[in-house]
Amino acid sequence: MRSGFAPLLGIVLLAGIGALAWGTEGFRVVTSDGARRLQIEERPAPVPQARLIDQDGAAFSLRDYRGKTLLVEFIYTRCPWLCSVLGDEFQRLSTLARAGSFGSEVDLLSISFDPQHDDRQALALYGERYGAIAPRWRVAVPADRRSLASLLRSFGVVVIPDGMGGFIHDGAVFLVNPSGRLARVLDAEASPQQVSEVLRSASR
């Protein structure tokens, strides 16, 4: 063994393992989606003061939901795949919420990230398809570009073109707790029981 070997090896190991640990949040996640979930659960951040307009043309803000639990999904109304799964899931949650199954007041919000196509009429049609009635279930678009950007950024939603004129996006359902913080990410496929359990624990 030569001089300087041990220090150099030590530096490489320390820097290398350190970088990998940092990049994987302590060897817990390898995807951005995993990192986002972890971050939301461990450090719930306040939702932005974004302005939105719902299917009835009413303007509102995410901050208006203070004191209530809010479930948020991101959609675009022309979406042929994921949004219909998300829509069904939201419909089920809406039924449960109206029946008072969650023990606290839960509102729903479907946010479109496609303001170019999703005008008030498109939102209203989407709402009708799933039985969404404002204000308990709003289908809305951000009022301006800045609101859209800040919503996507703070919820960690990435939208990419699907190459056929539509979009690919993730199918997460986000839970905003009564103090206005983004506290949990739920899978679209989660069973109602699982969802109500998470709701009960996270809205406290």
Partner 1 sequence: MGPPKKRQMLAAGALWAALWLPPLRGLLEHDMTLHMLAQLPLLIGIGYALAAALRSSEPRSLVEADWLGIPGLLAVVFATSFWMLPRMLDRALAEPLFDLAKFLSLPLFAGVPLALSWRRMPPLGRAFIWANFIPKLGAIGGLYLGAPIRLCAYYRLDQQAAAGRALVITATTLGALWFLAAFFGWPPRQAVGRAPPCRRWHRGA
Binding site for partner 1 (CB under 8 A): 1-5, 7-9, 11-13, 15-17, 19-20, 23-24, 29-35, 158, 160, 162-163, 168, 170
Nearest distance, CB of residue 179 and partner 1, angstroms: 28
Nearest distance, CB of residue 69 and partner 1, angstroms: 26
Q: Which two tokens stand for residue 131?
A: 């039985």
Nearest distance, CB of residue 1 and partner 1, angstroms: 6
Residue bearing tokens 């995410």: 62
Nearest distance, CB of residue 32 and partner 1, angstroms: 4
Type of residue numbered 152: L
Nearer to partner 1, 82 or 176 (CB): 82
Nearest-angstrom CA–CA distance, 157 and 53: 19
Give me the helices (H) in 135-187, please. Answer: 145-155
Nearer to partner 1, 42 or 99 (CB): 42
Nearer to partner 1, 33 or 144 (CB): 33
Give me the helices (H) in the chain, please. Answer: 5-23, 32-42, 82-98, 120-130, 145-155, 192-202
Nearer to partner 1, 115 or 171 (CB): 171
